[in-house]
Structure 1
Amino acid sequence: MFEEVYDQFIQRHLASRTGERRGRLERGHRHAESLFLRNVWWPLRGNLEHLHPEYEVLDWRGRTYFADFAWLPGHVKLIIEVKGYAAHVREMDRHKYCNELNRETFLHAMGYQVISFAYDDVEQHPQLCMTLLQMVLSRYLSNQTPASRASFAEKEIIRFAIQCAGPIRPKDVERHLDVNHKPAVLMLKRLCAQGWLLPSYRGNGERIVRYELAPGVWNYLD
């Protein structure tokens, strides 16, 4: 299924491009980019909608730059890069390093969010990449049903727990999400049932006072 959709995806973009934009797609879309789609994007999303390979933008000097991917569903502008160690570390000199940082800062100023994945993780730890990518995308995906709103809130609780780097209390969630005590506790209990959080009991073990990330979650994110 992926191969068929992927081939149609590339052919559609090739047919819509001319000149250097077409040439860049023919030359620049290589193994790392296709592996990212196969191992990370497709298992997570199940489609290639709103993705643009070898997406042309201008840098702060007005020079053309081709990002590996842009995800452009409406008002969202997300740039995705897959970076190999050799090209982005071992062969990087000071001038290239400065240019890369300046480009990312400029793109941010232009309304793009830039996220990068290491090729080694895309190849060897795709589940980690999927988890991190899902955390990014969930901030932009529309939530039109009560179930999706609950799912979004639960993902935000996980992000909040990671940021706190320690146990969280129901009152912390209430303040962070601006919700009442009962829905905060229900979401925390659901996350415990899903294996994301562990409850911490007080006294004789009947009352839960706080929640912390399950050890396996930290291993999953390492």
Structure 2
Amino acid sequence: MGFAEEHQKWLDSHKKRRTGERLDRLVRGHGHGEKMFVERVWWPIFGHMDDLHPEYEVSDWRGRPYFVDLVWKPGQVKFAIEIKGYGPHVQQTDRTRYRQELNRETYLQIAGYRVVAVPYDDLEAAPELTISLFKSLLAPCMLKNAEGEGRPYTRLESDILRLAARWNGSIRPVDLVNELGVNPRTVKKLMNSLCVKGRFRPILAPGSNRVCRYEYIHSFMEDELW
């Protein structure tokens, strides 16, 4: 099925499990911005909506119910994703609501959520940027889950993948020697293994057969990351 069918199926499954205010909030709250994020960012990265919850109810610091636009909970990890338009969150707000919004975000962090604010305008004009940022943000979590499921990465290989995601995909052998505290031979062996596994591409120095750096290959759709 394509996105439209999967999106409707996903919404229907959540509606069936809700009643009262939770159901009403889902019907009213999952609007254009939230759907655009799922379609233009989430779907291209994951290809499914497993563990993603729309209009997820949490309690704020006062004990009052609050609905987060989207919450992703794959196991022990919790991300609170808020789609923020310039009008509702800047132009049309007042000091009280602005203060409450910031306090809510801080409280969500205390409650164990990673809070991610997504600009609505970027979803319209530059979804590729949001996709790139989300890939780098979620990579460590994907790798942590993979380690716990017996996936084919050693501890040092997983460390290298995390570093590559953090360093925007380009990594030099000398950086790994300094960061990991291992010798150059070990780095070469690890990188050869990761190249064979399709996670890096070696880049040669101009006019030389010496590898000067490695290019990280994103692969968020591969089974071993889940």
Alignment TM-score, normalising by the size of structure 2? 0.76
Q: Is contact 1:59-1:65 (8 Å) kept? A: yes
Q: Does 1:11 align with 2:12?
A: yes
Hey, what does 2:184 align to over in structure 1? Answer: 181
The count of residues paired between Structure 1 and Structure 2 equals: 203
Residue 147 of structure 1: how far off its partner (Å):
5.9
Hey, what does 2:173 align to over in structure 1? Answer: 170
User: Quick one: distance in 1 between partners of 2:24 and 2:184?
Assistant: 57
Residue 170 of structure 1: how far off its partner (Å):
3.2
Hey, what does 1:156 align to over in structure 2? Answer: 163
1:38-187 equivalences in 2 (<5 Å): 38-141=39-142, 142-143=145-146, 144-146=150-152, 150=157, 153-159=160-166, 161=167, 170-182=173-185, 184=187, 187=191
Q: Is contact 2:56-2:67 (8 Å) kept? A: yes
Q: Is contact 1:154-1:187 (8 Å) kept? A: no
Distance 1:87 1:178, change over 3 A: farther
Alpha-carbon deviations, 1:19-57, whole Å to 9, x = none?
000000000110000111110000100000001000000
Alpha-carbon deviations, 1:183-203, whole Å to 9, x = none?
545749969848xxx8878xx
User: Quick one: distance in 1 between partners of 2:154 and 2:43?
Assistant: 20
Q: Is contact 1:67-1:80 (8 Å) kept? A: yes
User: Quick one: distance in 1 between partners of 2:121 and 2:26?
Assistant: 22
**Backbone CA RMSD of aligned residues:** 3.2
Hey, what does 1:220 align to over in structure 2? Answer: none
Alignment TM-score, normalising by the size of structure 1? 0.77
Q: Which has the higher contact order (CA 8 A, sep 6+)?
A: 2
Q: Is contact 2:85-2:121 (8 Å) kept? A: yes
SS at match of 1:81: strand
Q: Is contact 1:200-1:212 (8 Å) kept? A: no
Amino acid at match of 2:25: R
Residue 119 of structure 1: how far off its partner (Å):
0.7
Q: Is contact 2:160-2:176 (8 Å) kept? A: no
Residue 73 of structure 1: how far off its partner (Å):
1.2
Alpha-carbon deviations, 1:71-114, whole Å to 9, x = none?
11111111111111101111122222211111111111111111
User: Quick one: distance in 2 between partners of 1:183 and 1:152?
Assistant: 13
User: Quick one: distance in 1 between partners of 2:186 and 2:123?
Assistant: 36
Q: Is contact 1:138-1:152 (8 Å) kept? A: no
Range 87-96 or range 72-81, more displaced: 87-96
User: Quick one: distance in 2 between partners of 1:174 and 1:134?
Assistant: 25
Residue 155 of structure 1: how far off its partner (Å):
4.7
Distance 1:180 1:41, change over 3 A: farther
Hey, what does 2:220 align to over in structure 1? Answer: none
Identity %: 41
Unaligned runs of 5+ in 1: 214-222
